[in-house]
Chains A and B, each alone.
Chain A
Amino acid sequence: MQKYSVFSLIKNALKGHKDWEVAWKDPAPKSEYDVIIIGGGGHGLATAYYLAKEHNITNVALVEKSWIGGGNVGRNTTILRSNYMHDENGLFYEKGMDLWRSMSQDLNFNVMYSPRGIINLAHSDAQMNAYSRRGNSMRLNGIDAVLLGREEVKKLVPMLDFSDNVRFPIFGGLMQPSGGTARHDAVAWGYARQADSMGVDIIQHCEVSGFDIANGKIKGIRTSKGNIKAKKVGLCVAGSTSVLAEMLNMTLPIETHLLQACVSEPIKPILDHVVTFGAGHFYCSQSDKGEMVMGGDLDGYNSYAQRGNLPTLQHVLTEGIAMFPFLSKLKMLRTWGGIMDMSMDGSPIIDKTHIDGLYLNCGWCYGGFKATPVSGWTFAHTIAQDRVHELNAGFSLSRFNTGHLIDEKGLGTKTWIS
């Protein structure tokens, strides 16, 4: 594989950029693989990469119904964080933060990792108390957390509305200084390029239409490019999980819902951090191009549409303007939507299933992007070793039955309001 560096860039620039190798090949599927990963998003690509890198399993196919990186990994708001209270989440995502730190070097691909800090705003004394508790829980798990007062927030984010005449005054906030952003497309491309170089077949435009199962064991998959045999199959299909589950006669604790995001026209640097509204659901950061990147609530009813509806966008941006009044002056550049696999407790599922050799990775709700490396890392372990890693042991499918929920927000099973 061609190594990317400033020297290779100069060399190729001088030759008119004619000698770049393809970043990943476009192979036809072989008849059999050791492992097939379904879903060419961030999690699937990361899983394929870590299967090859950490477990020396390279006879791997990754099948994607569309093109790689065209789903949620290309539709999110690129936020990285591990500011969770519960141990299962905190320790898991913090391992992810470790992987983010070295990702550009690891993949030889600039993912534009930017640990600019994430600030969750608090709008009442009670919320300050809750953040103080969450911050302490984070620090006990070795995650950086700083409780900010109103004046400290004002110093960091002066464009927030600090006037007295507001419905939700800012009392302070909880900051994770190591949180931040990364370029989402680069993450997908970087994983794809490395996985491909280690022997993974990335098969695009190959839609799964069924599974071959005999005696409770997976034998292979049926696709639009023919039947492919496999010893093990891993599902990483986010919002399409319930569709594949139906083919497997499984009913999962998941509903598919639509989440929108949007960006404004580019403006000069005005926001150095990722900031979230504490009295509703709105988050905002500024991209390197200068666009304000924004997101918030789900559309609020089951949806596979991959495009959103205006009432929710209006609601979300009303919160945005309450937080940053200057946003009302900006023009909207783009809005889009992606479909989320909303689990019933808001936490993911990475587990084996009742079918031997079939593994499940789903339930990311709208927090899947930050988990990309650690999801792939733990899922690769689960598949390769046929047992869960201690980091994803809590994310079991059976926890809904046994009552070991990881309900970070305490919202219960109304996935559409979470």
Chain B
Amino acid sequence: MLYIKCPYCGMRSQNEFAYGGDANVKRPELNEEVSDKIWDEFVYLRKSPRGKHIELWHHISGCRQWFKVQRDTTTHEIFRTAAINEDIK
């Protein structure tokens, strides 16, 4: 069982959250020319690192906010969580 600290509600069990994937994926800017290559990278290509991973989680059975989590994909250690508009370095 993971315990995740929602930036708004505090520490809760994994059961309250839904996963949202790699948080470093950036959608190409709206209203600009997007090449097939950039679109392909955005939609399909993922680093999927072994080790530290910054990812999106959704507190779906709580405050329903999306936020960022930095987690180790091998040990599941969670280093920090942050609001969606904060950067995790």
Contacts and interface: CB of A to CB of B under 8 A. Distances in A.
A175 interface: no
Interface in B1-55: 1-2, 14-15, 19, 21-22, 36-37, 40-41, 43-50, 53, 55
B19 A416 contact: yes
Contact of B49 (A242, A301, A311): A242
A246 B74 CA distance: 16
B45 A305 contact: no
A256 B48 contact: yes
A301 B57 CA distance: 10
A243 interface: yes
Interface stretch (A38-46, A247-255, A372-380): A247-255
A300 B60 CA distance: 14
Given A309-B1, A310-B1, A400 B50 contact: no
B76 interface: yes
A251 B47 contact: yes
A110 B19 CA distance: 42
Contact of B44 (A253, A301, A310): A253
A71 B71 CA distance: 24
A104 interface: no
A418 B1 CA distance: 21
B85 interface: no
Nearest to A400: B44
A302 B53 contact: yes
Contacts of B75: 305
Of the listed residues A301, A310, A400, the one surrounded by the most CB atoms of chain B closer than 10 A to its CB is A301
B73 A304 contact: yes
B45 A253 contact: yes
Contacts of A301: 19, 55, 71
A303 interface: yes
Contacts of B43: 344, 400, 413
A2 interface: no
Contacts of A344: 43-44
> How many interface residues does chain B have, given as a range?
20 to 34
A401 interface: yes
A414 interface: yes
B2 A251 contact: no
> How many interface residues does chain A have, given as a range?
20 to 34
Interface string A396-410: 000011000000000
A309 B14 contact: yes
Interface in A357-412: 400-401
Nearest to B40: A401
Interface in B45-87: 45-50, 53, 55, 71, 73-76
Contacts of A413: 43-44
A251 B45 contact: yes
A81 B45 CA distance: 29
B36 A401 contact: yes
Contact of B47 (A240, A246, A416): A246
A252 B74 CA distance: 19
Nearest to A298: B19
Contacts of B49: 242, 246
Contact of A254 (B2, B37, B46, B50): B46
Contacts of A310: 1
Contacts of B41: 251
Interface in A298-318: 300-305, 309-311
Contacts of A302: 21-22, 48, 53, 55, 73
Interface string A211-235: 0000000000000000000000000
Given A251-B47, A305-B74, 4 more contacts: A302-B21, A302-B22, A400-B45, A414-B21
Interface of B: 1-2, 14-15, 19, 21-22, 36-37, 40-41, 43-50, 53, 55, 71, 73-76
Interface of A: 240, 242-243, 246, 251-256, 300-305, 309-311, 344, 400-401, 413-414, 416
Considering the complex of A and B, which 9 residue pairs feature the smallest CB-CB distances, nearest first? A242-B48, A253-B44, A400-B44, A251-B45, A301-B19, A255-B48, A304-B50, A401-B40, A344-B44
30 contacts: A242-B46, A242-B47, A242-B48, A251-B41, A251-B47, A252-B45, A252-B46, A253-B46, A255-B21, A256-B48, A301-B55, A302-B73, A303-B74, A305-B73, A305-B74, A305-B75, A305-B76, A309-B2, A309-B14, A311-B14, A311-B15, A344-B43, A400-B40, A400-B44, A400-B45, A401-B37, A413-B43, A413-B44, A414-B21, A416-B19
